[in-house]
Each structure stands twice: as C-alpha cells, then as structure tokens.
Amino acid sequence: FLDSNNYNLQRAVDAYFNSPSSKKSSAPVFDKALVAIFENYRDEDNESQIDINGTMQYLEDLEIEPEDPQSLTLAFFLHSPRMGVFSKSQFLKQWQQYGINSIDGMKKFLAQYHESLLYNEENFYEENSNLGYGKKEPVTFKKLYDFTFDFLMEVENQKLLDYQTAIDYWTLLLPLVVNTAVKDGSLQPDKRATVESRIEQWFEFVRNEYKRSFSKDSWSMFYLFFKDIIIKDPEKFTDYDEMAAWPSVMDEYFEYLRENELLEELV
C-alpha cells in the first residue's frame, strides 16, 4: 500500500481501509445456522434478499399473522426497505448482533422487542448515522411509526401515502398507542371509548372530507397530534392551538369536528 501511494502515509492508510479486499477481511463471519435460515426463505432469483413469498413463509414459521403489528415490528427491526422484502445484509447483521440463530429464538426475541417498543422501555438501541458514526439511540415507538411511512412507499421517489393505506395502518398502530397510554396512566381508562371514537371520526374525516394523500410530515405529526392533543384531552382538545405548527390537515380535522358539533365547546 505504501508503494502504491508514493509513501504518503495518510493516503496509504485511507487506501487500505477503502480497498475492497480489506473490507472483506474485516467483514463479520456470520453464524452458519443463521445463514441457513436466510437461505431457506431467500428469493430464487436474487440471492441478496427475501421476497414476498419468503416473507409469508417466514412469518408463518414465526407464528405471526401478517395483520399482526408484530410483523411491522419485524420489518422495522430488520430494516425492511419495503413491504415483503428483507435484505440479506440487514437480516444477518441484526440477528447476529443479538446472537440469535434459530426460529425459536427469533420468536422470543421479537415478542420482547415488540413489548419494549410499545411501552417505550428503551431496552434496545440502534445506530443512527445522523448522530455520528457508531452512536446509538434507544428504539422508540415513534421510530417504528415513522418507519411505517417509508416502509409503505412502493416506488422510487414516492412521497405521498394514499389515504386508504394510511387508514389501514392507523387501524393497526393507533390502538397500540391507546393501550400504552392507558397502561402508563396518561389516559384514564374511562376515556378510552372517547379516544376510540375520535379515531373513527378521524377516519371518517379523511375518507369523506379530506380525501387526499399524506406526506411524511403529516403522517409523522399526526402521531404527536394523537398523543399530545387527542389522548391528553379527548373531549375538548384543550391543548390544541390553531396558531401552532400543526399541518393543515389537523386544523381541518379540528374544524370538521367543530362544525359537526362533535367537540365539547371550550369554555
């Protein structure tokens, strides 16, 4: 390396770390049993990923229904690029990280991981390149929620999520948020029904009035809106402020509720 870089030490070191051969040598050796599991589900035409058929099989073996929120957690955990697809590198890396190499282990781990996410226990950490190399941050439900949006993007450069799909996934995700809120005491159990009817009204509004697709920002902000406004005071939305930076769809929702007299008037 020194030869090829004119004895410039700096460049030689760079070249060493950048050269493909060095990467290969430092690449982790994956557990054979784990690789075998991957190979079991792998796409016949593409050796670096699992496709939809493999995914269905995989879920079945893990005893997870495709409609179960856990399937979303799995996709999130394995950094699935889009629905029904797992990449080989992430699959191996993520499971290896926790030393798991059996379907049974995966089943147990996933259940734990899912619980932790739901209640924001912050038992698990993920690298986040935004924070700097190797920095880790706790995995939270919000991350899973935001991930869902990207996960649902079907084509390159898609930026909007059509509202029907959005409603489907809210149906899956929002009850989890409600459960958590009841459990951690931020929502009184007797107000649960009100929150649930708010969700219904949100869907009605989106379906019959709004009828447009959602941007990532609106999707992501709705989680906060749901948590900070709806759950906090499902009857009156006390903390709602139309001057705050909520995306306009929430303002419209609020107006919709008010016009249909579904909101207890603020005093």
Partner 1 sequence: EDFMRAVILEWDEHLQSMKFVSDVLMYLNRVYVKEQKKLLIYDLGIELFKDNVIKHNHDEVGQKIVEIVITEITRNRRGEVITTTMYITKLINMLELLVESGGSADLQQYGENYYQTTFEPAFLGNSETFFYNFSQELVNYKLGSRYLREAAQFVKEEENRINFYLPSSTYPKLIDLMNNIIIKDKIDDIISLPYEQQGLSYWLQPVIGNIFEDKNDSHHFEELRILYQLIGRFADDFQLLRLRLKSNIISQGSQLPEFVKTSLQNAGEKKTTYNSTAFAIKWIDTVLRYREQIFKLSLESFQSDPIIEQTITYAMRDFINGNGNNRKNSPIVNAPELLSIYMDYHIKQKSKPSPSKDVNSDSTESIEFLRFIKDKDAFEANYANHFAKRFLNSKGTTQNGNANNKLGVDLEELILSRLGEEMGTTSLAKVIKMNKDIKSSKDTTSDWRKYTIKNQVPDLVELELKICNVTDWPKSMTKDYKSFSKSDTGEIQFIWPKKLRTTMGEFEEFWFSGKKNDNKSLYWSPKFGSMDMRITYPSRTYEINLSTYAGIIMLLFAPQSSNADGSMELTYNEIQELTGIPEADLKRHLQSIAVAPRSRLLVKSPMTKEVNDDDVFRLNESFKSPSIKVKVLTVSAASSVAPTRSKPKTEQEEEAEEVQSNIAEGRKIEVNAAIVRIMKSRHTIRHNELIEELIKQLQNRFQPSILLIKQRIEDLIEKEYLKRDEEERNLYHYVA
Residues binding partner 1 (CB under 8 A): 159-160, 215-218, 221, 224, 242-245, 247-248, 251
Return the number of the residue (31 or 252) whose C-beta is nearest partner 1: 252
**Spatial contact of 66 and 83, defined as CB atoms under 8 Å apart:** no
CA 210 to mean position of chain CA atoms = 25
Distance CA 242, CA 266 (A): 13
Task: Provide DSSP, 144-205.
Answer: HHHHHHHHT--STT--EE-HHHHHHHHHHHHHHHHHHHHHTTSS-GGGHHHHHHHHHHHHHH
Q: Could you tell me the smallest distance in angstroms from the CB atom of residue 246 to partner 1?
A: 8
Return the number of the residue (27 or 245) whose C-beta is nearest partner 1: 245
Distance CA 205, CA 93 (A): 42
**Spatial contact of 114 and 85, defined as CB atoms under 8 Å apart:** no
Return the number of the residue (216 or 236) whose C-beta is nearest partner 1: 216
Return the number of the residue (121 or 259) whose C-beta is nearest partner 1: 259
Q: Could you tell me the smallest distance in angstroms from the CB atom of residue 184 to partner 1?
A: 20
Return the number of the residue (33 or 131) whose C-beta is nearest partner 1: 131
Q: Could you tell me the smallest distance in angstroms from the CB atom of residue 256 to partner 1?
A: 13
- 223 φ/ψ angles, rounded to the nearest 5 degrees: -60, -45
Return the number of the residue (12 or 160) whose C-beta is nearest partner 1: 160
Q: Could you tell me the smallest distance in angstroms from the CB atom of residue 126 to partner 1?
A: 15
Q: Could you tell me the smallest distance in angstroms from the CB atom of residue 83 to partner 1?
A: 22
Distance CA 114, CA 260 (A): 38
Q: Could you tell me the smallest distance in angstroms from the CB atom of residue 248 to partner 1?
A: 4
Closest CA to 63 of 103, 97, 29, 24: 103
